[in-house]
Amino acid sequence: MKKDTRNDTNNRYTGFALAAMDAALAERQVTDQILQCNEVTEKYGLILTEHQALSLAQTRTTSLKENRRIEFGSGIVDKLIMEFCDSPYLSQENYEDTLHELISLFYEMKNLTEDRVSDRDLMEFMKQAFDNGCRGSLELLSGEAMRLSEHIHCGGTIKTFRLKETAI
C-alpha cells in the first residue's frame, strides 16, 4: 500500500511558511525598537530612517544565521545603538555602516569567545576599544576583538584583558 505523502508535504510547507512569518515579525519588532532609539540618538545628531532600521534588522538576521545563533526577543541591536550613540567617532554619515559592522562583529565575537563573555560586557568592551585605542577604526576594533578571543581561549577573562593603549 502506497503512503499518501501529500499531508507530509503540506505540513512541511506550512512549517516553512510559519517560520518565515515569525522571522518577518521578529524583523518588524527589531525595526520598531531601532526606530525608538532615535528619541535618544537625535541629541547626538544621529537618526535612522525606517529603511535603514529595517536594513539593520536584516543584518541582525543574516549575522545570526551566519554564526549559527538563535536569539529570543529583540536581541542586541538597540542596545548596541544606545551603547555607541555618544561615540565621538560616529556621525550621521558613518552611523548606519558602522552599526552594520558592529552587529556582525558582536555575533562573531559571541561565537569566538564561546559565550564566556556576557552581552553587556562584550558591548562595553567594544565601545571602550572603539572610542579609545581604536579611535573609531572598525578594522582595529576587529583586531582587538581577536586579541580578546585569544585571551579568553588561554584561560583569561574579560576582566583580566587589557586593551592596547593605542591600537594605531
What distance in Å separates the CA atoms of residue 121 and residue 100, rounded to the nearest whole number? 19
Which one is predicted more confidently, 44 or 30? 44
| Tens-digit pLDDT profile for residues 111-155 | 999 999 999 999 999 999 999 999 999 999 999 999 999 999 999
Q: Is pTM beyond 0.95 here?
A: no
Position 15 pLDDT exceeds 50:
no
Question: Three cell numbers at 163?
Answer: 586593551
Chain centroid to CA 77: how far? Answer: 5
